[in-house]
Amino acid sequence: MRSSEFLVFISFFLYFCSTCMIKPEESHETILPWLYLTLAVLGLPTNGIVLVDLWRSERTPTIIFTLNIIISDLLMCCSFFFRIAYYKENTNWQSGTPACNAAELIIFSCFYINLYCNMCFLLWTSINRYTTVVKPGYALFQVFKQTRSCWILCFSTWLIVITVVGASMGVKLRLQINGTCFDQVVNSYVFYQDQFNTIHCLGVSAFFFILCLMLVSYSLLVFHLQKVRGGSLVGVGYGPGGGLKVRRKILASVIMFVLCFLPYHVQRINLLTSEHENCQVEFRIKMCTIFIAALSCCLHPVLQLVFRSCLILQHWMSEQSSDTFKFCTEFSVINRSNSTEVIQKTRSSNTNYNHGVNYITHFRVCTTFLRREIQAIFKYFTQLAYIQHFKALNIIHFKCDF
């Protein structure tokens, strides 16, 4: 019995010696806490402002999906404080302690839930935009257009992602090794990497599947706008230049998705295919890609604030346009009244002076009339040029809900 235990110990020892061990780096203890603290300081107030603004808005499908993204980002920002504590104390905490287990559970659960929930919500948003414009009457896509079904879809997304992540974290916490908390969190993946290959494959497959569906939805949407407007890319109901603004918003969504989420999943592919000859370099790359993915919790609210400011500016410019129309109406009335005044004064002068021409009075009346006309025309074109200037900057007539 003792000989078999000794053989097991020897085999585990040889496996331990042949496996690439990752060591803590001082830069992670000094730099990463400040970076994540910056994300928390920026992300919490911006997400809070957007959350309050969206909560007061009408519950359209786009607002519902965006609201769930912001809630997910707030949870991610709150987990940054546990991540900061982990980077500061990971070599001081022992593996298996309550502090280490709680930090690992909160950090990675919030990260993966935020990552895959946001990917799904962005996919639902792209399908909703495609359905609204291209297939408004298609029965299969009605779930993305009704408020109640959108809430059910979001709840189902949360439930599925939380279940999968919770099961994965349960497996992870059961596979522990002796040592520090850093060894429990990082090196346990090295020892039990075969146990997590299925999870990695599932995550990578889900990412590229969602990315392909988003690209297809947005490509068909842009092609439809191109086809409807015959090359001008002006969408129905989006005003002058609306198609260009739609393309810009689509481009911003796709770029943010690829920029934040693609590097991490490329790193996961490398983790699946690599022989781990230089695991320390792979660990550094993984830390960088995790930070890039965490940037999404700050980019989402910033984009929403930018789009919201466009909506406010659009409303203000609409009021200015209505004032200009009112002025043009008054301007035409003044023109008619001034013309009548000139005619009446000319007739009166002709009658009083026995059809003689009073050149001085006629000159004064004409001068007054021309001065008023010039002032009115100058004011009208000044306001018109002001509006056209904002239209040229593509910051009005922007449908933020789209």
The pLDDT tens digits of the residues spanning 225-244 come to: 888 765 544 444 444 445 56
DSSP-assigned beta bridge partners for residue 180: 94
Among the listed residues 259, 257, 177, the one whose alpha carbon sits nearest the alpha carbon of residue 12:
177
Question: Residues 387-392: what's their mean pLDDT?
Answer: 43
- Dist. CA 210–CA 203, nearest whole Å: 11
How far is it, in rounded angstroms, from Cα 14 to Cα 6? 12
pTM of the model: 0.72
End-to-end CA distance of the chain: 70
CA atoms within 13 A on the CB side of 303: 20
The total of other beta-carbon atoms located within 10 Å of residue 229's CB is: 15
**145 and 63 in contact (C-beta within 8 Å)?**
no
Amino acid at 367: T
> CA-based Rg of the chain, rounded to a whole angstrom?
33
Per-residue pLDDT, 367: 58
Where along the chain do its domains lie?
A: 22-298, 319-392
pLDDT digits (tens, 9 = 90+) for 17-69: 445 778 888 888 889 999 999 999 999 999 999 999 888 888 889 899 999 99
Query: What would the two tokens of residue 326 be?
Result: 């009112």
pLDDT at residue 401 is higher than 90: no
Query: Is residue 246 pLDDT above 60, yes or no?
Result: yes
pLDDT band of 376, cuts 50, 70, 90 = low
CATH superfamily of 22-298: Rhodopsin 7-helix transmembrane proteins (1.20.1070.10)
What are residue 94's phi and psi, to 5 degrees? -90, 150
Give the pLDDT confidence score for residue 200 in this predicted structure. 86
Cα–Cα nearest to 50, from 320, 311, 359, 357: 311
Looking at residue 274, the DSSP 8-state letter turns out to be -
